Structure 1
Amino acid sequence: MTSIPFTRRLAMAAMTGALALTSMATVASADTTRLRFHTFYGTEIDPILKKFRDTVKENSGGDLRIQTFHGGELVASDQLLEAAKKGSIDIAHGHGGYWSGQVDIGNIEAGLPGGWTSLDEARAFFDSEPVDALLTAAYDEAGVVYLGKGYGHDYDLLTKEPVTSLDDLKTRKIRATSNVAKVLEYFEIPTVYLPAGELYIGMSTGVIDGAIYGGPIEYEQLKLNETAKHYTRLNMLMPGWTETFLANKEKWDGLSDEHKAIMEEAIAQFAADITGWLAEGNQSVVDKGDVFEFAVLPDEDSKQLTVAAQAVWQEEAERSARNAELIDLLVANAKAQGRL
């Protein structure tokens, strides 16, 4: 019998070991569930995304893995719902305004002027059983699974001159989105729409005298503090937007109960981390002390904004019976809070 050289025996042993490892990796891979998660945010939230991925991996013992994609990376933000429905992605993180043409309640849940004035109020509203049931049904009809909400932060007025009341704005042109513009026009305040990238030029050249776009951090990032210094808290909509998490039905239904629970907990923490990050960013600008001068609109004027917003609310209510039901709940909440 011919003996096998020692070096060849080593090579064969190494090959056998490699094949065994490959086989084990294949089995492990087959047992690992991977989910494609697409947010509308960019790379600025990468530390939060990493924490999210690590949490899911750790809590599942490595059996559940998340692959994350930034805004516009695989699909445009206004296509997130459709992508989740078709399975191009497994979980979408966007907000109702992106798909209001596909889901009747989209604009309402994204945030209507006067809808809520604090994070606690917004959370309590969406956590209530009637509201949760309406959103679950609406997204089920749209072909996806509704997983829950996230919350933005400040959304207020920046002007070149100080504001002490709504009357001060009647001689100034304010940049606003369509729904906010309808509310301001109720008070005979002139409005115009400009995209974010044009706000600096618009403010510095006098095309606009103020803008309702975001919070202190957004205004500072756009360098608008170089053109306007007066930040007025309107108490019209806080948080200024809400965020929605949706899943592909087939992929979600295929998860074990344990994996669903892990995902729900991790998504809730991810949403809370986003809100915390936004809050910290806004507070950091306040703490600098010399970026903006801060003021608050009088309570009575803030309440009048909610009253004026009723025309916008009723437009949404007329879109469907479900919208009407959701608006009724929004009205009841506003009355309970003393704004109507």
Structure 2
Amino acid sequence: MDRRLFLKGAAVAAPAAAATTLAAPAVAQDRVELNIVSTWPRDFPGLGTSAQRLARRIGEISNGEIVVNYFAAGEKVGAFDSFDTVANGDAQAYIGADYYWTGKHPGFAYFTSVPFGMIQAEWNAWLKFGGGQELWDELSGEFNLKKLTCGGTGTQAGGWFNKEIETADDLRGLKMRIPGLGGTVMSKLGASTVSLPGGQIYENLVSGAIEATEWVGPYNDYFMKFYEAAKYYYTSGMHEPGGGLAFGVNRQFWDGLSAHHQAILTAACMEENAAAPEEAVANNGAYLSKLVNEHGVELRSFNEEVWDAFGEASAEVFEETRAHSALAAKIDDSYQGALREFGGYLKIADIEFANQRNRVLGL
């Protein structure tokens, strides 16, 4: 396969066995208690408020039959402890980004976003109609979990940097917060990468512990105040073309629910899966203007030399991911096949239209 065209595989860590301690859901007078832990801080604009909205809607749609107790990051467990907490049965569900768990299995990256991967609409199509959900179920089942998609961010910005990135060599030695396979790509190009939960990024950027970070896009990033510590804001990045979010449920809890209650959780997740990226689309333009006009942020775009370096490194990352296990290769085969099919049509439909529309309207 042409390495510049696309990419195959990234290694992370070996799978871990998940303990299973949770019994069937506690039911009292047709009520089910659902404790949700999150990877986002409370009232965190965008991601945090999306998770809270989902938790609220589950109670509303169920007409109180499902009693939801929502715990933001740090209120019950730390952000990166949510996976194990739910797998072990100490809570019933988590809301987060599954690429945080690539240390358990690199296949989880595909169920958030991967470098040079699918945009939001393509990813949703793969999950719902291209076999992605079945693979997510297979992978998550190894860790005693059931997963539903519950949100997204759309195509994310390239990130915040305290210096301009003009060549791939400018990434060498750079200390950057970037999780998932995108972080592995940056590491191959010489960056020193870390995966920090959202609530810890600002303090590390201000202190100099990191020199660059990606987060989401202008709407979410504005409230993080990264502009106080990093001057350059790069537009579209390779790392998250369409970030999908996960509602992870303890498998015993899920299996013990009635079909009606399973349908309620699914419906609430599907509703938020649409609302979250739509909210980003509605707000990104306005908040980008605020960043530039009110805070003097300087916009930059990665040049083709840097994009090509990203592509070369990504090819190695995908090859390594495939080598991790038969399941990782199976997920990658399905994902890459769907990407090429969906992307080929997008090129002659959505992308061609958008380019011509923007040209005619002067956008």
1:37 aligns with 2:36: yes
State the match for 1:16 in structure 2: none
Q: Could you tell me how far 1:139 is from its partner in structure 2?
A: 1.2
Deviation string 1:248-303 (CA, Å, 9 cap, x unpaired) is 22322222222211111112223444444555564442132423233433568546
Change (3 A) 1:270 1:307: same
Matches within 5 A, 1:176-255: 177=178, 179-180=181-182, 183-184=185-186, 190-193=190-193, 196=201, 197-202=203-208, 208=211, 210-217=212-219, 219-239=221-241, 241-255=243-257
Letter paired with 1:158:
W
Deviation string 1:18-52 (CA, Å, 9 cap, x unpaired) is xxxxxxxxxx9522222112221111157545543
Q: Secondary structure of 1:75's match?
A: coil
1:260 aligns with 2:262: yes
Change (3 A) 1:321 1:162: same
User: Which is further off, 212-221 or 136-145?
Assistant: 212-221
Deviation string 1:154-190 (CA, Å, 9 cap, x unpaired) is 2413334555x5468468946254754653466xx65
State the match for 1:137 in structure 2: 138
Greater share of helix: 1
User: Which is further off, 150-159 or 175-184?
Assistant: 175-184
User: Structure 1: how far apart are the matches of 2:336 and 2:311?
Assistant: 10
Change (3 A) 1:32 1:331: closer
Which runs of 5 or more structure 1 residues have no equivalent in the other structure? 1-27
Q: Secondary structure of 1:323's match?
A: helix
State the match for 2:64 in structure 1: 62
TM-score computed with the length of structure 2 as normaliser:
0.69
Letter paired with 1:199:
L
User: Structure 2: how far apart are the matches of 1:238 and 1:144?
Assistant: 24
Change (3 A) 1:126 1:235: farther
Matches within 5 A, 1:59-98: 59-98=61-100
Letter paired with 1:229:
K
User: Which is further off, 329-338 or 135-144?
Assistant: 329-338
State the match for 1:126 in structure 2: 127
Change (3 A) 1:83 1:297: same
Q: Decide which of 317, 335, 339 is 1:312's aligned counterpart.
A: 317
User: Structure 2: how far apart are the matches of 1:212 and 1:59?
Assistant: 35
Q: Decide which of 275, 280, 285 is 2:287's aligned counterpart.
A: 285
Deviation string 1:178-206 (CA, Å, 9 cap, x unpaired) is 754653466xx652346622222439xxx
Letter paired with 1:105:
G
State the match for 1:109 in structure 2: 111
Q: Secondary structure of 1:225's match?
A: helix
User: Structure 2: how far apart are the matches of 1:176 and 1:76?
Assistant: 18
Q: Secondary structure of 1:61's match?
A: coil
User: Structure 2: how far apart are the matches of 1:287 and 1:75?
Assistant: 36
Q: Decide which of 154, 159, 165 is 2:161's aligned counterpart.
A: 159
Q: Secondary structure of 1:35's match?
A: strand
C-alpha contact (below 8 Å) 1:115/1:306 kept by paired residues: no
User: Which is further off, 254-263 or 284-293?
Assistant: 284-293
Q: Could you tell me how far 1:90 is from its partner in structure 2?
A: 1.4
Structure showing greater relative contact order (alpha-carbon pairs closer than 8 Å, 6 or more residues apart): 2
Q: Could you tell me how far 1:323 is from its partner in structure 2?
A: 0.4
RMSD (CA atoms): 3.5
Which runs of 5 or more structure 2 residues have no equivalent in the other structure? 1-26, 345-363
Change (3 A) 1:157 1:174: farther
State the match for 1:147 in structure 2: 148
Change (3 A) 1:78 1:235: closer
User: Structure 2: how far apart are the matches of 1:38 and 1:138?
Assistant: 21
Q: Which has the larger radius of gyration?
A: 1
User: Which is further off, 241-250 or 291-300?
Assistant: 291-300
User: Structure 2: how far apart are the matches of 1:190 and 1:48?
Assistant: 35
Change (3 A) 1:296 1:202: same
Letter paired with 1:55:
R
Q: How many residues align?
A: 304
Letter paired with 1:328:
D
Q: Could you tell me how far 1:134 is from its partner in structure 2?
A: 1.1
Change (3 A) 1:316 1:149: farther
State the match for 2:329 in structure 1: 324
C-alpha contact (below 8 Å) 1:93/1:245 kept by paired residues: yes
User: Structure 1: how far apart are the matches of 2:49 and 2:182?
Assistant: 33
Q: Percent identity?
A: 20
Q: Could you tell me how far 1:115 is from its partner in structure 2?
A: 2.5
Letter paired with 1:70:
A
User: Structure 2: how far apart are the matches of 1:126 and 1:299?
Assistant: 31
